[in-house]
Structure 1
Amino acid sequence: MLENGRVVNTLAFERLRGKYSGALFIVASGPSVSEFPLLRYSQYSMMSMNGSICRFAEAGVRPLFYICDDSSFVRNRLPFLQQGIASAQNVAFSPRVIETLLAQVPDALVGRSVYCFERANRPVDGRKPMSDRQFSWAARKDADFECHFSLFRQKPNRIGFSRNIDKGYFSSRTIPYTGIQLAYHLGFQQVFVVGMDLDSSKGRFYEQGEDAVGSRLDGDYEDYILPCFELMAKRVVNPAFQVYNLSLESRLPGSVLPKLTLDQLDDLLAAL
């Protein structure tokens, strides 16, 4: 899987571009996941990430994709990662996640459908990345990207959305946003995000007490998370691609991402 420090023998996302349609549920790790009746919607395609895979195991549901782009999660939560690899139909990991995983469990990915994805402007083929400003200027001319641009501040140049995961994704410092970009790439038209509470004080649904791992959500919310979702709402969401938040207590305003009750969700799904 690794050759000269580079990831090889992984599948390209291009083969799946536009292959799917309809609704997709993205299940994150906020505490509201515990209130979501996963089995009730198990006939729809689903995406799991990081520790949310344990909710799928409990319900006996096999997600279409399990994704992880944080190598520290491998070090801190290896059993969850192995659970995702074993139960998901496909897995998508960043190069550092794969490298960290294989250093600990060399045969962890044998026989699995593994896709490698990386942040925008972080080539996996050894090429040197451009500066954030150079990349965002170039991306403005690429129909697969939406992004901000600033000559004077660095942070705006990291705010964006990718319609083509093979070209990279914008992290927004929260993995559900990565999942939404993947959902667009795959062709889904309605995306429902579960457990995106974005409140570090509430922790993750699968962690308690001293077992909890620290979160950077509060520090990243104003600079990266909120601006990325605002950009997506203005430039990407349209009648052919809709994104909804199923966490009614989410820190993200409903004016940016509409919030749905389960009754509203059922009505919307019935109308599709």
Structure 2
Amino acid sequence: MPMITMNGAISMFSQAGTKPFFYICSDTNFPLQQPELFATAMQISENVALWEEQFDIVQTKPNGNAFGLKKAPRASMFTTLFNPQESLVRDSFLLSKRSKDIGFSKDMSLGCFDARTVMYLALQTAYHLGFNKVFLVGFDLNQAAGRFYETSESKRSPCGLDQHYGTRILPSLKLMSEHIVSDDFQVYNLSADSKVPGHIIEKISLDDARRMLNR
């Protein structure tokens, strides 16, 4: 099955000898803090997506196809309410300046929305590429648990999951659930202990996922 992986999760692929279909890294400090993992990602991934400016900075270049990420432009209140872009689905309840950054991109060439979690970029990438079923693995959003690939010897990146969960992460996922998820684009969460409620992203077991894939 085609698999999209992100940031340090590439370590699971290298250990298993599996090449990811797509690798996405939104943490600009990751190449400096985890150079070996980043180099592995650049070496074994079929496709790589980084912020556009990152490709000019990183020392290790991707062996596969390279795609530049860019943020979707902010829309005015008039544009959002009366002349919305069909491929950039936005939150129409503009109660705050921050809400203007909440949305979902169906066409990554127009830009993407950063919900403060790289998994949200992966979801937009999956939609852009035409996948109709997405299974989220390791999407527990438990900041206290830490990152499994970080060790006491390695540099640790700051984590803002708790800080941004209520203001950016959950509102973005809710928008996706209400306006994007459909019979043509279904999203399932394999993390039983995920912080994301099941009514926003349906939680299923690994056995459920296997049965769906076998069908």
Give the TM-score of the pair, scaled to structure 2.
Answer: 0.92
1:264 paired to 2:212: no
1:64 paired to 2:21: yes
1:115 paired to 2:67: yes
Shift of 1:113: 1.6
Shift of 1:141: 1.8
Number of the residue aligned with 2:85: 142
Structure 1 residues 140 and 63: alpha-carbon distance in aligned structure 2, compared to 1, 3 A threshold: farther
Shift of 1:150: 4.8
SS at match of 1:224: helix
CA contact (8 A) 1:197 1:247 kept: yes
List gaps (5 residues or longer) in structure 1.
1-43, 122-130
CA contact (8 A) 1:146 1:162 kept: yes
List gaps (5 residues or longer) in structure 2.
none
Higher relative contact order (CA 8 A, sep 6+): 1
CA contact (8 A) 1:136 1:148 kept: no
Shift of 1:100: 2.9
Aligned-pair identity in percent equals 34
Question: What is the CA–CA distance in structure 2 between the aligned matches of 1:111 and 1:208, rounded to whole Å?
Answer: 27
Q: Which amino acid aligns with 1:196?
A: F
Shift of 1:96: 3.2
1:177 paired to 2:115: no
Question: What is the CA–CA distance in structure 2 between the aligned matches of 1:83 and 1:269, rounded to whole Å?
Answer: 28
* Structure 1 vs Structure 2 CA RMSD: 2.0
1:235 paired to 2:187: no
Question: What is the CA–CA distance in structure 1 between the aligned matches of 2:207 and 2:181, rounded to whole Å?
Answer: 22
Question: What is the CA–CA distance in structure 2 between the aligned matches of 1:238 and 1:46, rounded to whole Å?
Answer: 21
CA contact (8 A) 2:139 2:194 kept: yes
Q: Which amino acid aligns with 2:127?
A: Y
Moved more, 66-75 or 166-175: 66-75
Number of the residue aligned with 1:91: 48
CA contact (8 A) 2:44 2:63 kept: no
Shift of 1:93: 0.9
Moved more, 223-232 or 137-146: 137-146
Question: What is the CA–CA distance in structure 1 between the aligned matches of 2:148 and 2:169, rounded to whole Å?
Answer: 20
The alignment covers a number of residue pairs equal to 214
